Amino acid sequence: MDMSENTTTVTVKSDGDRLMIVCDRDESKFFVLDYDSYCSVARYYGWQPCKHGCETDGSVNCSHHKTHEFELSAEKFLWDNCVGESIDDPGWFID
């Protein structure tokens, strides 16, 4: 599959303390992840908020988990599985 010139990828990077999303086409463009963004970013990398089949995206409690647990789970998922991994830009770095 060849990459269209319009395809921008993004990569999870770490400076040791923080996680960030970096635009691969222009590494001066990045944002640092925090508890407001872990869940939404992790979902693009395949993280599931609740494995019991709940519909939540991690921003609201389900009957099994509170949002704080989702944030911690998503942060751990990103640290454990995603540093150095790239995905197509979901629209975070549109010019």
Site residues, Zn ion (CB under 5 A): 50, 52, 54, 62, 64
Q: How far is the CB of 61 from Zn ion (least distance, A)?
A: 9
| Residue 47 vs 93, nearer CB to Zn ion | 47
Q: How far is the CB of 48 from Zn ion (least distance, A)?
A: 8
Shortest reach from residue 55's CB to Zn ion, in Å = 9
Nearer to Zn ion, 9 or 67 (CB): 67
Task: Give the nearer residue to Zn ion in terms of CB position, either 60 or 83.
Answer: 60
Q: In sequence order, what are the residues at sequence separation of 6 or more whose Cβ sits closer than 8 angstroms to the Cβ of residue 15?
A: none
- Specify the DSSP class assigned to residue 91: S
Helices (H), 8-85: 38-44, 67-77
Percent helix, percent strand, percent coil in the chain, to nearest 5: 25, 20, 55
